[in-house]
């Protein structure tokens, strides 16, 4: 039995010379560093990276459309991570789909919390210590756009992540309470 196939760029591991051979993955590496550096665009200019109709689907299924509203939602989701965050990919699959590219990838999101008095015990591949690591899968859609960084912009992000390691840490440290989740 035959079935339709298409070419897919597959990479196992973090960013490296191989991922930089694919123009969208080279762009994604730069985007990831910028996203982490600016604390989910709490500073910086997201319009260099995202389309005006950019949308995000959060891990709870909530979908937010429009760049400003979507960036606000992402910034709020990452705001509790006072010690920063770092996304480190472990596997990436990228393909073309008509006039755009898609990427499905798995990453470890390393998270830090300042002022908790808790020892950071989780280490990223570069040896930096963090309080928590969250395993997550993401789906991205990219489009060609000359006004964007490197002529590319992101149109959509879907996040599939289990937030419980971070939520559990925040509950144990008193950063959030059950009341913050409507549970008390």
The domain spans of the chain are: 9-112+133-163
Which tokens is 35 given? 């996203």
pLDDT tens column, 17-66: 999 999 999 999 999 999 999 888 877 789 999 999 999 999 999 999 99
> Cβ–Cβ contacts within 10 Å for residue 167, how many?
17
CATH architecture of 9-112+133-163: Roll (3.10)
Report the pLDDT averaged over residues 141-170.
95
Q: Is the pLDDT of residue 116 over 90?
A: no
| Average pLDDT rounded to a whole number, residues 141-169 | 95
Q: Which is nearest to 126 in space by CA: 105, 108, 104, 106?
A: 108
Is the pLDDT at 109 greater than 90? The verdict is yes
Confidence at residue 40, expressed as pLDDT on a 0 to 100 scale: 81
Confidence of residue 99 (pLDDT cuts 50, 70, 90): very high
Distances (CA, A) of 94 to 47, 89, 101, 132, 178: 23, 13, 7, 28, 39
159-180 pLDDT, tens digit each: 999 999 999 999 999 998 989 8
- Please give the pLDDT value at position 117: 83
Q: How far apart are CA 88 and CA 108, in angstroms?
A: 5
Query: In which band, very low, low, confident or very high, does the pLDDT at 157 lie, cut at 50, 70 and 90?
Result: very high
For all residues of the chain together, what is the average pLDDT?
94
CB count, 10 Å around CB of 153? 25
């Amino acid at each position: 039995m035959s079935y339709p196939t298409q070419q897919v760029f597959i990479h196992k591991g973090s960013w490296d010379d191989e991922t930089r051979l694919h123009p969208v993955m080279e762009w994604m590496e730069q985007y990831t560093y910028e996203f982490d550096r600016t604390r989910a665009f709490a500073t910086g200019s997201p319009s260099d990276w995202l389309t005006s109709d950019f949308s995000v689907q959060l891990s709870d299924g909530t979908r937010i459309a429009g760049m400003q509203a979507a960036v606000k939602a992402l910034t709020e989701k990452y705001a509790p991570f006072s010690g920063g965050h770092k996304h480190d990919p472990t596997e990436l699959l990228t393909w073309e789909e008509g006039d755009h590219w898609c990427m499905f990838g798995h990453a470890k999101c390393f998270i830090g919390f300042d002022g908790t008095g808790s020892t950071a015990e989780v280490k990223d591949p570069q040896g930096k210590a963090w309080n928590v690591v969250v395993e997550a899968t993401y789906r991205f859609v990219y489009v060609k756009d000359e006004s964007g960084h490197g002529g590319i912009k992101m149109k959509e992000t879907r996040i599939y992540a289990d937030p419980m390691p971070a939520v559990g840490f925040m509950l144990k440290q008193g950063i959030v309470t059950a009341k913050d989740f409507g549970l008390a």
